[in-house]
Amino acid sequence: MSPKTLYDKIWDAHVVSEDADGTCLLYIDRHLVHEVTSPQAFEGLRMAGRKVRAPEKTIAVPDHNVPTTAGREDPKNMTEDSAIQVAALDKNAKDFGIHYYPVSDIRQGIVHIVGPEQGWTLPGMTVVCGDSHTATHGAFGALAHGIGTSEVEHVLATQTLIQKKSKNMKVEITGKLRPGVTAKDITLAVIGATGTAGGTGYVIEYCGEAIRDLSMEGRMTVCNMAIEGGARAGLIAPDEKTYEYVQGRPHAPKGAQFEAALSWWKTLFTDEGAHFDKVVTLKGEEIEPVVTWGTSPEDVLPISAVVPSPEDFTGGKVDAAKRSIEYMGLTSGQKLTDIEIDTVFIGSCTNGRIEDLRAAAQIVEGKKIKVGRAMVVPGSGLVRAQAEEEGLDKIFTDAGFEWRLAGCSMCLAMNPDQLSENERCASTSNRNFEGRQGYKGRTHLVSPGMAAAAALTGKLTDVRTLMSETAA
C-alpha cells in the first residue's frame, strides 16, 4: 500500500461513495451549529418536510450575537434581530432534537471552544460547522472545515457533504520557539509567508518540533487560522497531549471504548514517504512576536519592523497596500512600536482559551492599563469559571480590564462589543478586515501577551520588553 498522509487516512475512512469524476459523498461525524448561519437551513428542512438525519451528532450553541454583559438571558437585553436569531436556534434545537447549550448554560461559549471542551471533537473525525473557523478542531487530528448554509442544510438532511479531495500541504515549523513567541505568532508568520491564498485548494498538516511542543490550546490557535491562509483545513497529528486532553471529557469515549479509540488514533499520522503537493518550512527560532499592519491577515510583520510602503509590493497588492495604509491611518516608515492603541480585545476562538488568559494575566499582573478600553471575553462559561478559580479575573479587573461573559464578541462585532470609527484595537482575534470589529474600526492582530503589553503601554509593544522586566 502506498504511504498516506494524515489527511488521506481520515478522508478514506469517511468516503460513503465516489463517482467516476472523483466527486465523493463524505460522512460527517460532528456537525456544530450556531445561530447566524443556520436559520435558513432549518427553514429549508421544514419546507421540504425533512428531518435531521443524525441529531445525536449535531450540537448547537448561540455565540455570534450574544451580549457579553450580565442579564443577557433576558431577550429584552439583546437587539431585536439578535434575539430573533437566538430564539430561532432555541426553537430549532428543540424541534429537531439536537444537543443544545443555551445562553443560560455555563457550558455555553464559542462553538469552536465548546466542541473540544465537551469532548465532541475527537481525533480522526470529520467535523463541520457553518463557520470558517471550524479549522480549529484540526488540532485534534480531525478533518474540520467551514461550510455555507446550503451545506449546513445538506449535512442536517444527509449527514454527508459532497466533496472533492483537496491537495496535501505540509507546513513544518522546525526547532524551538524563543521566549515570548507563541502559537499565534506561528500561525500569523505562516500566513505572512504564504499569503492569504497560499493554502487555497489544500489541506495543511502542521508538523515539526515547534508544533509538537505546543499545548492543545496552542495547536487550536494554529489550526484556527488555517482558513486565513486559504486552506480548507489545518491538521495536527494526535499524540499523548491530544489523548490526555480528550480523556475524561463529557462526550469522549470511556473505558474499553476509549482504549479501542486510542488504538485507532495511534494510526493517525502521515506515513514515511507520503506525498505532499506543497511544502513550507519555517524555522521556529527565527519567528518573532508579530503584528498585522494592514487589513488582510497576510499583512504581517515582526514587531521590530516599520509600516511598509505600497512600492514594497507588486501586482494588485500595490493598490491594496495603499488602501490598507490609508484605512489604518498609518504612515509608511513609521515604527510599529510607535502606533498608539485605543482599545484591547482578548478573546475569540483563536485566543479565548484558559492558556491565553493565563499568558495575558502574567503580563498584566500588578500593573494598570493605559488604553481607554480593554476587555477580556473568555471563550466559554467554563473557561471563565476556571480563570476565576485561578484568580485571573481579579488580575484583569485590578489592572482596569473589563471581565465579560463568553461569546464571539468583538472578534466580529455582531453583538454590542464594537469599535467606533477610527478606534484602533490590538486584538487577539483572527481577522483585520475593513470594518470587521466595527464600522471603520482599525484592527491589529496579535497574541494574548502582545495584547496585554499594548494595554499596559498604550502602544503596540514587544511583549519581551515587559517579560524581562518581570524577570528582573
Name which of residues 308 to 347 contact other proteins (CB under 8 A).
315-317, 319-320, 323
Query: Per 3-state DSSP, what percentage of the chain is helix, strand, and coil (rounded to 5)?
Result: 40, 15, 45
Residue nearer to other proteins on the CB measure, 151 or 462: 151
Strands 300-302 and 278-283: unpaired
Q: Does 413 bind other proteins (CB under 8 A)?
A: yes
Residue closer to other proteins by CB (options 77, 196) is 196
Sole binder of other proteins in the list 219, 431, 442, 464 (CB under 8 A):
431
Q: Pick the closer one to other proteins by CB: 118 or 182.
A: 118
Minimum distance from CB of 363 to other proteins (Å)?
A: 30
Smallest separation (angstroms) from other proteins to the CB of 376: 22
Eight-state DSSP code of residue 428: S
Candidates 108-116, 328-336, 376-384, 426-434: pick the segment binding other proteins (CB under 8 A): 426-434
Does residue 174 interact with other proteins by CB under 8 A?
A: no
Pairing of strands 15-18, 30-33: unpaired
467 touches other proteins by CB under 8 A? no
Which residues contact residue 105 at a Cβ distance below 8 angstroms, ignoring those fewer than 6 apart?
A: 381
Question: How many binding residues for other proteins (CB under 8 A)?
Answer: 79
Strand pairing class (58-60; 30-33): parallel
Any idea what DSSP says for residue 430? S
CA distance 137 to 300: 24
User: By the 8 A CB rule, do 387 and 413 touch?
Assistant: no
From 117-125, 172-180, 328-336, 388-396, span contacting other proteins (CB under 8 A) = 117-125
CB 246 within 8 A of CB 139: no
Cell of 148: 455555507
143 versus 214: smaller Cβ distance to other proteins = 143
Work out which of 258, 275, 302, 370 binds other proteins, going by CB under 8 A: 258
The span from the CA of 429 to the CA of 436, in Å, is 10
Map the footprint of other proteins across residues 290-309, applying CB under 8 A. Answer: 296, 298
**Which of the ranges 101-109, 229-237, 340-348, 364-372 carries the binding residues for other proteins, by CB under 8 A?**
229-237
> Residue 124, interface with other proteins (CB under 8 A)?
yes
For residue 398, the SS3 value is: helix
Distance CA 303, CA 278 (A): 28
CB closer to other proteins, 164 vs 368:
164
β-bridge partners, 459 = 340
By CB under 8 A, tell whether 349 contacts other proteins: no
Residues 366-385 that bind other proteins (CB under 8 A): none
CA–CA separation, 13 and 11 (whole Å): 5
Alpha helices for 329-400 (secondary structure H): 348-351, 354-364, 381-389, 392-399
81 binding other proteins? (CB under 8 A): yes
Using the rule CB under 8 A, give the single segment among 304-312, 391-399, 410-418, 464-472 that binds other proteins. 410-418
CB nearer to other proteins: give 179 or 250: 250
Contacts with 311 (C-beta within 8 Å, 6 or more apart), sequence order:
318
Q: Which of 237, 282, 243, 273 is nearest to 259 (CA)?
A: 243
- Answer for which of 46, 179, 260, 389 binds other proteins (CB under 8 A) is 260
- Of the pair 159, 242, the CB lying nearest other proteins is at 159
**Least distance to other proteins, CB of residue 17, Å:** 5
> Per CB under 8 A, which of residues 56..75 are in contact with other proteins?
57, 64-65
What is the contact mask toward other proteins in residues 436 to 465, using x (rule: CB under 8 A)?
x--x--------------------------
Q: Scan residues 189-218 and list those touching other proteins (CB under 8 A).
A: 196-197, 200-201
Map the footprint of other proteins across residues 143-172, applying CB under 8 A: 145-151, 153-154, 157-160, 162, 164
Question: Which residues have CB under 8 Å from 469's CB, separation 6+?
Answer: none
Restricted to residues 16-45, the positions that interact with other proteins (CB under 8 A) are: 16-17, 19, 21, 23, 25, 27, 29, 36-37, 39-40, 43-44
Q: What is the 3-state secondary structure (H, E, C) of 183-217?
A: HHHHHHHHHHHHCCCCCCCEEEEEECHHHHCCCHH
**79 binding other proteins? (CB under 8 A):** yes
